[in-house]
């Protein structure tokens, strides 16, 4: 019987996508608006894809309301550009230490279900996970994505609802572990009453993460046995 649900963030937690996404965002915005946003300077870590797109659009001096109008086109183009860049992601990116061992071990554990909770849209997450063959271990039907809600704090309840509706698992928020690499991952866990493990493999220093009050903070996921024990607790 499933007693725990582990929801993995993707970028900076499971993988580094090799910096491919930033330029892909710019290309998608250029496609929608008709001009390149230039050096937009929008920080992407921990944000949902629609949120990032809107922040880039907001910096382009568009007329009021035009950013929301462009958003669906940007997101659609973002997904197709990223899918087309899968070989580049595979070449420039990498799976982070311990991840394959952890995903494989939890996949074989009948008491633990695992999926992703990510700011990526469903399509972009699928591209990144498939690039490194990680999707085989994850129950992606119960995932929660940036395409479900642009506010990351809304995503844990979406995953819980899918787990109940599609798998018949009734899990309490405390049964859920959110694993991520940014303050936004913690906010998203706390908004739902879930537990949170933060790792320093993204763009936020582990010292900074340690000050936030997560249930656990680690440099990385390399100590597989210790992380398994934590996530099964």
Q: Which residues bind Mg ion (CB under 5 A)?
A: 9, 11-12, 181
Q: Which helix (H) or strand (E) holds 179?
A: strand 176-180
Q: Smaller CB distance to Mg ion: residue 11 or 139?
A: 11
Q: Smaller CB distance to Mg ion: residue 8 or 169?
A: 8
Closest approach of Mg ion to the CB of residue 221, in Å: 13
Do 40 and 34 form a contact (C-beta atoms < 8 A)? no
Closest approach of Mg ion to the CB of residue 29, in Å: 21
Nearest to Mg ion by Cβ — which residue? Answer: 12
Q: Which two tokens stand for residue 88?
A: 């580049």
Closest approach of Mg ion to the CB of residue 32, in Å: 25
CA distance 56 to 1: 44
Q: Smaller CB distance to Mg ion: residue 128 or 195?
A: 128
Other residues' Cβ atoms within 10 Å of the Cβ of residue 16: 19
Other residues' Cβ atoms within 10 Å of the Cβ of residue 93: 20
Q: Which helix (H) or strand (E) holds 89?
A: helix 86-92
Q: Which two tokens stand for residue 71?
A: 């958003």
Q: Smaller CB distance to Mg ion: residue 11 or 81?
A: 11
Q: Smaller CB distance to Mg ion: residue 33 or 52?
A: 52
Closest approach of Mg ion to the CB of residue 181, in Å: 4
Closest approach of Mg ion to the CB of residue 179, in Å: 10
CA distance 179 to 41: 26
Indicate the burial class of 179 (C-beta count within 10 angstroms; 0-12, 13-18, 19 or more). Answer: buried
């Amino acid at each position: 019987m499933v007693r725990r649900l582990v929801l993995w963030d993707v970028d900076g937690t499971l993988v580094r996508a090799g910096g491919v996404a930033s330029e892909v965002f710019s290309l998608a915005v250029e496609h929608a608006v008709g001009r390149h946003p230039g050096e937009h300077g929008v920080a992407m870590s921990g944000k949902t894809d629609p949120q990032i797109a809107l922040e880039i659009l907001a910096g382009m001096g568009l007329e009021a309301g035009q950013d929301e109008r462009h958003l669906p086109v940007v997101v659609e183009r973002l997904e197709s550009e990223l899918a087309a860049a899968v070989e580049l992601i595979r070449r420039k990116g990498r799976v982070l230490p311990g991840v394959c061992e952890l995903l494989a071990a939890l996949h074989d554990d009948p008491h633990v279900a695992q999926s992703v909770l990510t700011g990526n849209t469903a399509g972009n997450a699928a591209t990144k996970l498939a690039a490194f063959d990680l999707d085989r271990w994850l129950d992606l039907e119960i995932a929660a994505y940036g395409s479900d809600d642009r506010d990351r704090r809304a995503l844990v309840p979406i995953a819980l609802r899918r787990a109940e509706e599609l798998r018949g698992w009734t899990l309490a928020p405390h049964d859920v572990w959110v694993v991520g690499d940014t303050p936004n991952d913690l906010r998203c866990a706390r908004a739902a009453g879930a537990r949170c493990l933060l790792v320093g493999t993204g763009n936020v220093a582990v010292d900074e993460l340690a000050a936030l009050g997560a249930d656990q903070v680690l440099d990385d996921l390399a100590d597989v046995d210790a992380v398994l024990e934590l996530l099964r607790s």
